[in-house]
Amino acid sequence: MKKLISVFILILLFSTGCATTNRHPLKVDSTPSDALISVHDKKDSSTENTRKVAGTTPMGKNFDFPSEGSHLWLEIEKRGYVPQWVEVTPGTKALTVNLERMKDKSSEPVKEYTFPLVKRLLFAIPDFEVVKRGFSSEGVSKDESTAAKTGLAKGIQAYFTGKYEVVQIEGSQDDTQLLKSAWRDVRTAMELIDPIRLKYLSTPQYLETRGSREAARQLGSRYGAEVLLVLSGRQNLETAGMVLGKVGLTVAGTAASYGNAYGRAVSQGDSFFIYTVYVPEFSQGTLINAALIDCRAGEILWLNKGLWGTVNFNEPEAVNGIVQDLLTGLK
Amino acid sequence: MNISRTVLLAFVVTSLLGCATGLNMSPPAKLDMAGIQQHPFTAGLLLSKELKENVYLKQTSPFDKISYPLGEQTTQMFQKNLPLVFSKVVEIESRNASQDVDLIVEPSIVNFSSVIPMPAYNPYTAKIVYRVDIYNKKGEKIFTQTAAGDAQSSKGLMSGFSAQGIAADVAQKAMENAMKQILEGLSTAEELKKF
């Protein structure tokens, strides 16, 4: 039986894995600098959902090398330059990568990337819903969703006041149809493109279909705007019934635990007992995605997303705070 | 003693390996897409083996997994709904077998994710990204539409009694959401109108 227990412990150890530290310092630079460094265990590994970003060049830090193989692949990316993969080992102390300029169809080096000059920003009413989570069901609250959309729109206007002229899409049938087309590709971009990596990708990213690019162009042309800003998101709010239910559940759990432990201690003559205090977990919060699209070409210029706690969209200060957070990096 | 040892060892091994429980999902419905424009073409629907057999495994505890029959659902969804945007749809086995069709529609699943919460009263969510590539008879790609669909649901404090049912429902809603966008994209595609 002892052997069997040993085997069980051994299997558990194998299944949980034993981590060993294999950390080594490495300095990475590139010419030109300000290139994004991603870390991979294998060359050309498809890790779009689990990308490990080390930082931008020049930088130095401790890298965790795998215990087996003991080497890593660094992917170096910069807009307008051919991405490079470089193998490093614990022995590599410093590394400088010379990035090669990308070439166009006529084999000429591509021009330096520039962000379009913006005077007027077009803003679509946010695609935002507030979900009320009740005791035994949940559903979208139309009134609170409308209030949230209005609050966000005001927050955006306030943020850009004095910087750009902001004009909001009116919502005619034509506009709605164009926006629907643009939204389809924007939502996909929000899902698939890493906001941090976007500005470092070797080539600019565009809305996928000709239809959505044309929709962005027509909207821009109709309102005389260079860029289109869109926001989407959701807020989960728990109703009083849900909160009371959770609190009741945890109080009952704690009382049951206390009662059982106390009863056992009395019957066994113990001088102390241990019981569990259950604490309710609340899952309220706000998720917002944002994208900025170049109306002329349908290029995705900037993306961001963020999570916040419960936001009262009727309070301008609270809304301005999250708008400021969300639009960080967009100047 | 030998029997008890064998039973204990079998229990330990099966517990550590874990068994995937298949998620019961009702057959997908024909979507309500009133007013959608239909292209006057015969489309060849190419459902790859990889797509048909796609299963997503979700680890729900160290010893349990749930398997989502994504391929089966997606296959049925395209079979039922693609005729909404093409006047005739026939299934084809490969891109070469395209003699009797005007174009080929090849769907794929880009990614899928789901949240089965713990505690069970928190929100259940699912996200899926579909991609559809359209080829002409020469095998040239003429259009691609990618669409992301998501969904959230919960039965609050009652969720624990039907966790698998909610997870299945949420996944199916996310698929329907993505599918609707794919169909709208195909219906309004300039590339297909001028094909």
CB A226 within 8 A of CB A117: yes
Q: Is the CB of A281 less than 8 angstroms away from the CB of B119? A: yes
Q: Is the pLDDT of residue B144 over 60?
A: yes
- Of B182, B167, B2, B181, the C-alpha closest to B69 is B167
Q: To which H or E segment does residue A304 belong?
A: strand A300-308
What's the start-to-end Cα distance of chain B, in Å? 75
Q: To the nearest whole angstrom, how far is the Cα of A123 from the nearest Cα of chain B?
A: 22
> Does A250 contact B at CB distance below 8 Å?
no
- What's the whole-number mean pLDDT along residues A234-244? 89
Q: Is the CB of B146 less than 8 angstroms away from the CB of A188? A: yes
pLDDT in tens, A78-113: 999 999 999 999 999 999 999 999 998 888 888 888
Q: To the nearest whole angstrom, how far is the Cα of B1 from the nearest Cα of chain A?
A: 9
Q: To the nearest whole angstrom, how far is the Cα of B106 from the nearest Cα of chain A?
A: 17
Selected for mutation to probe chain B from A191, A210, A251 (highest B CB count within 10 Å) is A191
Three-state DSSP class for residue B148: strand
Selected for mutation to probe chain B from A180, A184, A307 (highest B CB count within 10 Å) is A184
Q: Is the CB of B188 less than 8 angstroms away from the CB of A181? A: yes
> Does A176 contact B at CB distance below 8 Å?
no
Chain B residue nearest residue A1, CA to CA: B5
Contacts of A50 in chain B (CB under 8 A): none
Q: Is the pLDDT of residue B26 over 90?
A: yes
Q: Does domain B19-193 have CATH number 3.40.50?
A: yes
Q: Is the CB of A245 less than 8 angstroms away from the CB of B143? A: no
Q: Is the CB of B117 less than 8 angstroms away from the CB of A249? A: no
pLDDT given at position A163: 87
- What's the whole-number mean pLDDT along residues B57-68? 89
**Parallel/antiparallel/unpaired status of strands B19-22 and B64-68:** parallel
Selected for mutation to probe chain A from B8, B130, B188 (highest A CB count within 10 Å) is B188
pLDDT given at position A14: 53
C-alpha to C-alpha distances, A300 to A201, A290, B81, B142, nearest whole angstrom: 12, 11, 31, 22
pLDDT given at position B18: 56
pLDDT given at position A242: 86
Confidence of residue B17 (pLDDT cuts 50, 70, 90): low
Confidence of residue A241 (pLDDT cuts 50, 70, 90): confident
Asked which of A1-10, A75-84, A248-257, B166-175 is least confident by mean pLDDT, the reply is: A1-10
pLDDT given at position A112: 83
**Parallel/antiparallel/unpaired status of strands A127-133 and A165-168:** unpaired
**Residue pointed to by tokens 């009740």:** A134
CB B153 within 8 A of CB B166: yes
Contacts of A135 in chain B (CB under 8 A): 156-158
Q: Is the pLDDT of residue B194 over 90?
A: no
Measured CA to CA, the distance from residue A266 to residue A274 in angstroms comes to 12
Contacts of B181 in chain A (CB under 8 A): 184, 187
CB pairs under 8 A between A and B: 91
- What's the whole-number mean pLDDT along residues A181-186? 95
Confidence of residue A200 (pLDDT cuts 50, 70, 90): very high
Confidence of residue B118 (pLDDT cuts 50, 70, 90): confident
The most distant pair of C-alpha atoms in chain A lies apart, rounded to whole Å, by 90
pTM of the model: 0.86
- What's the whole-number mean pLDDT along residues B27-41? 93
pLDDT in tens, A15-45: 554 555 688 999 999 999 999 999 998 877 6
For residue A112, the 8-state DSSP code is P
Selected for mutation to probe chain A from B61, B121, B131 (highest A CB count within 10 Å) is B121
Number of Cβ atoms within 10 Å of the Cβ of A33 = 13
Domains parsed from chain A with CATH numbers: 20-98 (2.60.40), 120-238+282-326 (3.40.50)
What's the mean per-residue pLDDT of chain A? 89
Measured CA to CA, the distance from residue A126 to residue A168 in angstroms comes to 11
> Does B108 contact A at CB distance below 8 Å?
no
- What's the whole-number mean pLDDT along residues A250-255? 89
ipTM (interface predicted TM): 0.86
- What's the whole-number mean pLDDT along residues A289-318? 95
pLDDT given at position A99: 96
- Of B14, B21, B59, the C-alpha closest to A11 is B14
pLDDT given at position A330: 81
Contacts of A192 in chain B (CB under 8 A): 110-111, 129, 146, 148
Q: To the nearest whole angstrom, how far is the Cα of A179 from the nearest Cα of chain B?
A: 13
Contacts of B5 in chain A (CB under 8 A): 1, 4
Share of chain A above pLDDT 90, in %: 65
pLDDT given at position A211: 95
Angle between helical axes of A142-160 and A316-326 (0-180°, round to 10): 70
Q: To the nearest whole angstrom, how far is the Cα of A100 from the nearest Cα of chain B?
A: 30
**Residue pointed to by tokens 């979700």:** B58
- What's the whole-number mean pLDDT along residues B59-78? 93
